[in-house]
Amino acid sequence: MSSISCGLVGLPNVGKSTLYNSLTKNSVLAANYPFATIEPNVGIVAVPDSRLEQLAELFPGSKIVPAIIKLLDIAGLVKGASTGEGLGNQFLSHIRSVAVIVEVVRTFEDNNVAHVNQSIDPKRDIDIISTELALADLDSLSRRLGQMEKEAKSNPKLKHMLELTQKAYSLLGNGQQLYTQLNQEELKQLADLQLLSTKPVIYVFNVDENSLNNKESQQLLIDMVSPSPALLVCAKLESELAALEDYDAKELRESYGLHHSGLESLVIAAYKTLGLQSFLTAGEKEVRAWTVRSGSTAQEAAGEIHGDMQRGFIAADIVGFSDLIMFGSWSACRSAGKVRTEGKDYKMQDGDVVEFKFNV
């Protein structure tokens, strides 16, 4: 899993490009009119992980290689996008490639930034996006179902898939989101259909600075999209913070009572939503974070580094991050009995520091 891909979506003028700029520290057009973004802007961002800097202190001269996350700033969707309104079909196709949808929802008032629907109404805006994604999927499924019904008559093995596809069509027709209504096995079976509604959604409410400490209004927004995860971010503030040195940005952020940057908050939410975790490798050449799914075995984790490691896997020497920091070196950890040798079926834990043994 070389990187996670997150697609920033939303109506025009909700602050997507401003947020994208601050998260990636890139500079793309953030204009006050619809469709300022036609092709998606793509940013590769280092996943914040303070453990890497601490490990690097134990291995002077080592290169720090963080895990990465891919952010796509996808053009604003409008009502009717599923039927091609506002280049909607093109924009919807960009969403199919991402692992998680990050829906930016505007809650701030600003007379200088026009809202495409002339007023601020988060619930309405969320419903518009959800409806357009569902309509696009219904169109795909209606065309697929006709073919599947014919195929199932001559091949009984396809009956289950036909029934699952019919179930998905019915759920969408009743205004239900497939990701929250189907189990993981059903979602996996539907993966080849590339349905937009099978993707998890993280809602990012773009609030003004005064709302960052308003717990009551924040809770109302969180409840609006529950059980989906929700973040409260001020894109304007994040943009200002991105222009500052790290120390100054940290000080200003804390003055607003914020413990994480917008990027850190998004990464935490994405990892939790997608069921991901990081393991670490540390040596004289580099210290590095690797992303795997929670529950991955040691042999599967080895494959993230190189296929030969997975095929020729023998064992994994593992030490906890905190133990390695405390004792200061692999050799000291071995002397203290803190290094474990695990087999191929060992379930990796977040923060495991690993040395793989393999033979090819």
For the chain, give the mean pLDDT.
Answer: 88
Residue pair 266/102 in contact by the 8 Å Cβ criterion: yes
Q: What percent of the chain has pLDDT over 70?
A: 90
- Show Cβ contacts of residue 208 under 8 Å, excluding neighbours closer than 6 positions: 107, 108, 109, 234, 236
What average pLDDT does the segment 85-101 reach? Answer: 71
Confidence tier at 36 by pLDDT (50, 70, 90): very low
75 vs 82 pLDDT, higher one: 75
- 133-182: per-residue pLDDT in tens? 898 899 889 989 988 988 888 888 889 999 999 999 999 999 888 999 99
The answer to whether the peptide bond before residue 227 is cis (omega within 30 degrees of 0) is: yes
Q: What pLDDT does residue 340 have? A: 96
In this model, does residue 85 exceed pLDDT 70?
Answer: no
Among 44-48, 120-124, 207-211, 344-348, top mean pLDDT goes to 344-348
What six digits make up the tokens of 316?
């994994």
CATH class of 295-358: alpha beta
What six digits make up the tokens of 126?
């969320």
* Total-model pTM: 0.87
In this model, does residue 90 exceed pLDDT 70?
Answer: no
Residues found in the chain: 360
- What radius of gyration, in Å, describes the C-alpha atoms of the chain? 23
Give CA–CA dist 63/284, Å, rounded: 8
Q: What pLDDT does residue 356 have? A: 97
DSSP string, 224-263: HHTTS-EEEE-HHHHHHHHTS-HHHHHHHHHHTT--S-HH
Neighbours of 146 (CB within 10 A): 10
Q: What pLDDT does residue 118 have? A: 74
Residue pair 4/277 in contact by the 8 Å Cβ criterion: no
Give CA–CA dist 294/153, Å, rounded: 40
Q: What pLDDT does residue 78 have? A: 63
Give CA–CA dist 306/251, Å, rounded: 41
Confidence tier at 95 by pLDDT (50, 70, 90): confident
Lowest mean pLDDT among 1-5, 86-90, 166-170: 86-90
In this model, does residue 54 exceed pLDDT 50?
Answer: yes
In order of 44, 154, 172, 257, 319, the CA distances from 280 in angstroms are 20, 51, 41, 30, 10
The alpha carbon torsion through 295, 276, 134, 204 (nearest 10 deg) reads: 150
Confidence tier at 323 by pLDDT (50, 70, 90): very high
Q: What pLDDT does residue 30 have? A: 39
- 192-237: per-residue pLDDT in tens? 998 999 999 999 999 999 888 888 999 999 999 999 999 999 999 9
In this model, does residue 37 exceed pLDDT 70?
Answer: no
- 278-292: per-residue pLDDT in tens? 999 999 999 999 999
- 4-34: per-residue pLDDT in tens? 899 999 888 898 888 988 888 754 433 333 3
Helix/strand/coil for 303: helix
Q: What pLDDT does residue 26 have? A: 58
**Which amino acid, one-letter code, is at 113?**
V
Lowest mean pLDDT among 41-45, 246-250, 285-289, 314-318: 41-45
* Pairing mode, strands 100-106 and 68-73: unpaired
Lowest mean pLDDT among 132-136, 222-226, 271-275, 306-310: 132-136
Q: What pLDDT does residue 29 have? A: 38
Q: What pLDDT does residue 74 have? A: 83
Element (H, E) at 316: strand 313-320
Runs of H (alpha helix) within the chain: 16-24, 50-58, 88-95, 122-154, 159-173, 178-181, 184-189, 215-225, 235-242, 246-255, 262-274, 298-305, 307-311, 321-327, 330-335
Q: What pLDDT does residue 150 have? A: 87
